Structure 1
């Protein structure tokens, strides 16, 4: 029987990406989580601003929180503006939260956001990965493997 394809999320507009995460961490499982935002945060994200380069997710009191994500203040937000680096709640099912909590506590894994995007219905979502940190020698091995695959693809294209 054929193996089912991994779930791909319907990303319409990617706002922020953490490109370094796939290099620094060995990504195991990817989850899609909703993001609780205020009005000015949504407007700022729709304008294409935001960064999750140094952010991470943490589980506190049965809820998952996105910490250290930077969504800059909205220019026309006046007194209703938000704080740029406040913790933001992520929306996941209880079963998923329990699974993540077990993996983080038991296996020493980390919750790393890979991207923030708007889906087809216009909702802000976070692609959250359960990952294990790579050591320096693992990173070098990863680079070697990636370069070898590129070279093999080049040779096959030339001969094929």
Structure 2
């Protein structure tokens, strides 16, 4: 019997990988609290949608299970505009980052179990000073079908253009 495999374990990454299911129309603002002076820090947000061939869910917790999943393709990477990043208080380290709606605009199969588009959002910051540390959080957003989305197979998409990985 296969075990439960989280996206963090599946794609590889530290504890800074968070996974949730959203609709393409979802927009949310994340508030980062660094708890220190962030004057001079720079921020960047980008995203790319991957497609996994199959996605299961734990029947007891409803958590996604990537144990039998394989990344089969992707869509082009895009940058989130800098206007979506607002340093609300540099001295105390508060930053608001708005994850925009419409990061993935292609078709989605309503059953959400086969050829599932998963948008990975990277929130990256670079500290000021002589050390210039660079850190990234990844937010993994499983795209769920909703009535305003074209019902269809993402791997057949031409707008945006789907690129298969290998053969």
The TM tier, using the shorter chain, reads under 0.3
- Look at both structures and tell me which one has the larger radius of gyration over its CA atoms: 1
Q: TM-score, normalised by structure 1?
A: 0.24
Q: TM-score, normalised by structure 2?
A: 0.23
Query: Greater strand percent: which structure?
Result: 2
Query: Greater helix percent: which structure?
Result: 1
